[in-house]
Chains A and B, each alone.
Chain A
Amino acid sequence: MSKNWTQTVEWRAFLTVLKFFLITLISAVMFLPFIWMICTAFKSAGEVEGAHFWPKFFHPENLKIVLRMIPDPFTKQYLNLHLARWIFNSIFIASFVTTLQVLTSSLAAYAFSRIQWKGRDKVFVLYLATMMIPGMVLTIPQYQVMVALNLVNTYEGLIIPAAFSAFGTFMLRQFLLGIPLSYDEAAEIDGASHLQIYLDVILPLAKPGIITLVIFTFLGNYRNLLWPLIMVKDAHLRTVPIGLLTFQGQYGTQTELLMGATLICITPLIIMFIILQKRLVRGISLGGGVKG
């Protein structure tokens, strides 16, 4: 009896509507603080603290100040902002790091999951263990390594140390573990070498994992603050998070300008995310790769 009832079209439609309603509600609630950021970017300095979203008076000139189209009306100076350069630097560094990390991590993850060798899991645990040390105490030795390699205050110094991560290896390893072993066994019987299996079988199958890693690594490096802050000296190497420090003066934060600048700076991230995450849907990997 109940089976009949749950099979009806009305019940299904009701479930779909409920699903849409619920997920819309959750998304909207999660999104609200972001709306508040947008609203704040158009408020006056005195109004920033208010509890309301909608600005009493719109100040679109806030964005103009941030874009250096007009000077700050009070100090009559242009702000010392170079958003284009910062965004370029952040994108450049983040994409370089991401590419290198995907390469090194996927290779290592393959060795830790698809090749059988003695002591593999023990080495892996040791490798993993290095992530468990709070990075704060490693800052000084790491910086000294960078000085020894003459990489301080260069793009290379921001890119190279970030390109090798235990995090990426661990994550991809877990994804690879989810791929049934029968695929490589079949390839091996066909006489494929490990390199061929890696390139032709595993990488295409691990696409969701790689896209995920790309999203995380890109995002994490785009907004990384502490390491670039220590490494960078020249103005032309500054990244977005360092640049945004400009709004935190000695006597407080220029919240409305900070929000405007933050919005401009995260726009590239949002575009990147929309493009990448479209590929994360059910069946992408196994639809294409398994036919043979």
Chain B
Amino acid sequence: MKYFLLGVLALLSVLYIVAKATAPAKAIGDKIPLVWTTDPNPERVPQVDAFNKMFPDCHLSIDPDNSGVMKVVVQSSANMGPDIIGQVTVGGSYETYNDAGILWDVTEEAKKMGFGPDTLPAEIADLVMLPVLTEAGTVEKRQFVYPCNVYHKYIIYNKNLFDQYNVPYPSQDLTWEEYLDLAKRLTIYGESKEIPKVFGGMGITADEVIWGKGGAFLNESGTRCTLDSKEAIEAMVFVHSLYHKHQVEPTPAVKAGVTLQGGWGGNINWLGQGKLGMLWGARWMLVQLRRFNLEQEKAKAEWIRNNPDAEQYEGPEVLRLGACLVPRFKDAKRYNGYGARSAGINKMGKNREKALNFLQYLASKEYSDLINLGADSKPGNKDYISIEQFRHPDFQGEDEVHQVAIDAIPYSRRRRSSMFVPSPVIERHFAKVKDKIISSAQLSPEDIAGLMKDATATINLEIARNIKRNPKARKAYDALRKQGAEAISIKLEDM
């Protein structure tokens, strides 16, 4: 036993030496190291290479992180955070990182170095800005991030399927009536009476419906949750009818009848395989759809090779895509959601000045070209958003999808954020309501109103508590009130 233990220790020492010896020497010389936390997927490799080529005095490397904000928050609590924080999502972790005091205010630098909000399309310039309390006691919007890519929500549809079932393509000024009609006509049942073999449409999000009906998640200044408004409730009643009365949106149970892969992978595959007519999504779906295109072109070439005498191609059709904007309500404005995966700079980073180069790089042509070519949604910089730049030499016939990605920009809208309640809190309570609406067909409009009111009251209580308990939040609230903001729903004195 004793000798065994000694043997083990000797072996471990050898392993230790091997581990140390094979650790690559930091071959970056006197270059300035920059660390970027992001998802480590293969697309990042050329992006890093291009940056290092563009700024030869820096050495950028990736630190993998798929764990939400935890890693960066813990590291930053000891001033050990990365230089560049990727995976910053507007309407989610952006507020969290900023609340945690991790992000560096780059408003002035951005103006000088050419990555300010003016480089973004005007409709979404607000994307990079967050309200903060200034020293002077007013609330101002400041910039902390620059988008890595921007998506707008719109509908991509499978033209083959519309042709096969003689359904007209959706119009460019789509209304909900038209959408319901098309989706119902394209929902085809086969042997099973429960699960369609072809779905008309999929991927509706409640946000667009709420905005379309004139509702909102928060009021403009973020002092009140407004999900209990007449409009928001009406919108959620409509969402309920989409699932249960009209059945144009499959409930998870029905959807699971076809597949159960998490995320968007499933739906996109169905669109590619001709099981789904219209899919709410964005340009990034091309990443996956192009794989289908490749496979189908290959199959076609093979068919032609095997049937040299055939006069025309009779094999499985190659996917043809169309695209249109999301529907609007009659006599009402159209809104489509948008969002961005962004990157910000660690305030405490040693090389934060150099890290500015990275945000500058995100606005550059080199980076934008990579995003465009990979169809990883759109780059942030408006100079590089055009059909010509979106096109990929190997994939033809995508122009419509490219075009609508640009057409959607004027209808941009996203959830407002509040200085007084973290976005994840709103999402958690809203998701609970949404799950109940989706899972129970029997809910009456009164039930839905009740659920929405309960959720709103909880969120509003959270807002009031924050203002009551945190003197800085109180200060910001008072400043906002002076700037004309609406009062919170609970009297502070009553708490």
Contacts and interface: CB of A to CB of B under 8 A. Distances in A.
Direct contact of A and B (CB under 8 A): yes
Interface residues of B, number: 60
Interface string A56-71: 0000000000000000
B97 interface: no
B291 A74 contact: yes
B63 interface: yes
A124 interface: no
B45 A77 contact: yes
A249 B41 contact: yes
Contact of B42 (A75, A92, A152, A155): A75
Interface stretch (A1-9, A168-176, A180-188, A235-243): A235-243
Interface in A128-176: 139-140, 143-144, 147, 152, 155
A174 B264 CA distance: 48
Contact of B15 (A45, A48, A96, A237): A96
B263 A99 contact: no
B39 A252 contact: no
A212 interface: no
B1 A204 contact: yes
B453 interface: no
B42 A72 contact: yes
Contacts of A79: 42
Contacts of B351: none
Contacts of B79: 147
A12 interface: no
Interface string B1-32: 11001001100100110111011100000000
A248 B87 CA distance: 13
Contact of B265 (A72, A147, A252): A252
Nearest to B82: A233
Contact of A251 (B16, B40, B287): B287
B269 interface: yes
A253 B262 contact: yes
A250 B339 CA distance: 13
A80 interface: yes
Contacts of B294: 74
A96 B12 CA distance: 6
Contacts of B16: 92, 96, 155
A199 B264 CA distance: 58
B341 A250 contact: yes
Contact of B263 (A48, A203, A252): A252
A276 interface: no
A226 interface: yes
Nearest to A49: B259
A232 B292 CA distance: 37
Contacts of B35: 233
Contacts of B295: 46
B67 interface: yes
Contacts of A262: none
A88 interface: yes
Interface string B278-311: 0000001101101110110000000000000000
Interface string A80-116: 1000010011001001100100010000000000000
Given A89-B19, A230-B74, A245 B64 contact: yes
Contacts of A284: none
Contacts of B263: 251-253
Contacts of A280: none
Contact of A144 (B5, B9, B23, B78): B78
Nearest to B62: A235
B53 to A, nearest CB: 16
B42 A77 contact: yes
Q: Label chain A's interface by main secondary structure.
A: helix
B239 to A, nearest CB: 25
B40 A246 contact: yes
Output the residue of B66, B261, B291, B341 with the most chain A CB within 10 A: B66
Nearest to B45: A80
A229 interface: yes
A250 B78 CA distance: 28
A75 B45 CA distance: 11
B136 interface: no
B261 A245 contact: no
A229 B259 contact: no
A224 interface: no
Given A46-B273, A229-B67, A235-B61, A248 B39 contact: yes
B284 A251 contact: yes
Interface string B28-65: 00000001000111111110000000000000011111
A245 B63 CA distance: 11
Nearest to B288: A251
B259 A144 contact: no
A203 B3 CA distance: 13
A200 B20 CA distance: 35
Contacts of A147: 78-80
Interface string B58-92: 00011111110011001101111010000000000
A250 B39 contact: yes
Contacts of A237: 23
B131 interface: no
A143 B72 CA distance: 12
Contacts of B2: 199
B45 A238 contact: no
A45 B67 contact: no
B136 to A, nearest CB: 33
B341 A246 contact: no
A234 B43 CA distance: 19
B41 A250 contact: yes
B487 interface: no
Given A77-B45, A140-B77, A253-B263, A248 B1 contact: no
B101 interface: no
B1 A199 contact: yes
Contacts of A80: 40, 42, 44-45
Contact of B269 (A49, A103, A155): A49
Given A49-B259, A88-B19, A147-B80, 4 more contacts: A46-B272, A49-B266, A230-B75, A232-B63
9 contacts: A46-B295, A75-B42, A80-B42, A88-B18, A92-B19, A147-B79, A249-B43, A250-B341, A253-B263
Interface of A: 45-46, 48-49, 72, 74-75, 77, 79-80, 85, 88-89, 92, 95-96, 99, 103, 139-140, 143-144, 147, 152, 155, 199, 203-204, 226, 229-230, 232-238, 242, 245-246, 248-253, 255
Q: Which A-B residue pairs are the 4 nearest by beta carbons? A: A249-B41, A252-B265, A147-B78, A49-B259
